[in-house]
Amino acid sequence: MIEFKKFFDSKRYILGEGLMEFEKKYAAFSGAKYAIGVGNGLDALHLSLVALGIGKGDEVILPSNTFIATVLAVSYAGAIPVFVEPDIHTYNIDPQRIVEAINSKTKAIMPVHLYGQACQMDEICRIANENGLVVIEDNAQAQGANCNGKLTGSFGHLNGTSFYPGKNLGAFGDAGAITTNDSSLAEKLRVLRNYGSERKYYNEYIGYNSRLDELQASLLSVKLGRLIEWNKERNRIAELYGNLLDGSKVVIPRIAESCTSVYHLYVIRHKKRDKLQEYLKSKGIDTLIHYPIPPHLQQAYRSLGVKKGDFPIAERLADEVLSLPLFIGMTEEQVSYVCHHVNQF
């Protein structure tokens, strides 16, 4: 493979040409000025909070139905996660409820573009501006989605994404990136990811070791060239699901008017979700649950003092959501086979 030979012969396996090239390409893809490659998506979010000076005693607003990594990033920074319920139809954070959660300790909003659908970013950014808050998008699941034509990963002051193998743009191992339009934050993050050192052996900050290595970056550059086409294919499969599933039997995904989805996942809802999953399994259809336990009910977050019943929408979603198979190369027959059995249940 040409890319591998180029990488191997370069003899520079960390912070070399391959990364610089990928960062340029990924920034352009996201409609942001800069991209900074880091070790994974969790680091991208954590380093973003650190770069913005968010830490001890600060409150960060995030959705109550997100993947645990969003919450962990806030904890790593020493800040307090404040959960806000999602909209029951789009599963994305509800802007109106964000307003209600803001107080004098609030420093940031971290919207998560869940399952590939862009959040209502215009409204979220307006709320942030009015209240002097920063926005950090968790764009791990929605590379290429947009809100009113503007791409996810280009709204926030800093935005984290993940190239975990299962994401829409997946590496062959762990990888992530931060996107931003702010040149000084971009500069600071390049230093933070590399021991807090701009000039070798001189340290400005207590930094980290979180770099996106050359091999992953080179492979990601190649895959990035096909991401738009792959996202289109995901949309075609989702449309077929939408046409073939019986909406009176299961709740099918709904996309907000101003937003698009890149269908990282195709998530339906059913009151007897566990039984439906079992039934589909018996027909040879593997499904997954994203996510079975909301962050506020995780053992790790006992200390927040939040209890069952405090976030009823997130809890209901955890009980009812089911992710149907959706992958590049999935045939019409496969989709209709799945739909047939979901409708039969």
Ligand X SMILES: *Cc1c(COP(=O)(O)O)cnc(C)c1O
Angle between helices 2-10 and 214-224 (to 10 degrees): 150
Does 323 interact with ligand X (rule: CB under 6 A)? no
User: How many whole angstroms separate alpha carbon 68 and alpha carbon 293?
Assistant: 10
Q: Which stretch binds ligand X (CB under 6 A): 63-71, 87-95, 117-125, 250-258?
A: 63-71
- Nearest-5° angle of CA 310, CA 263, CA 236? 145
User: What SS3 class is residue 36?
Assistant: strand
Q: Which of 153, 156, 176, 207 binds ligand X (CB under 6 A)?
A: 176
User: How many whole angstroms separate alpha carbon 78 and alpha carbon 21?
Assistant: 33
Which of 259, 234, 222 has its CA nearest to residue 92? 259
- The count of residues interacting with ligand X (CB under 6 A) is 15
Does 40 interact with ligand X (rule: CB under 6 A)? yes
Q: Which stretch binds ligand X (CB under 6 A): 61-69, 99-107, 124-132, 239-247?
A: 61-69
Does 42 interact with ligand X (rule: CB under 6 A)? yes
User: How many whole angstroms separate alpha carbon 110 and alpha carbon 157?
Assistant: 11
Does 41 interact with ligand X (rule: CB under 6 A)? yes
Is residue 57 packed enough to be buried (19+ CB in 10 Å), middle (13-18) or exposed (0-12)?
Answer: exposed
Q: Which of 67, 155, 241, 291 binds ligand X (CB under 6 A)?
A: 67
Measured from the CB atom, the residue of 65 and 260 that comes closer to ligand X is 65
Q: Which stretch binds ligand X (CB under 6 A): 133-141, 240-248, 250-258, 279-287?
A: 133-141
CB of 106 to ligand X, least distance (A): 21
**Which residue is closest to ligand X by CB?**
41
Does 263 interact with ligand X (rule: CB under 6 A)? no
Measured from the CB atom, the residue of 47 and 276 that comes closer to ligand X is 47
Per the CB < 8 A criterion, the answer to whether 195 and 203 are in contact is yes
Neighbours of 184 (CB within 10 A): 9
Q: Which stretch binds ligand X (CB under 6 A): 79-87, 137-145, 212-220, 298-306?
A: 137-145
| Tokens, residue 345 | 């249940």
For binding to ligand X (CB under 6 A), which residues are involved? 40-42, 66-67, 69-70, 112, 138, 140-141, 162, 164, 174, 176
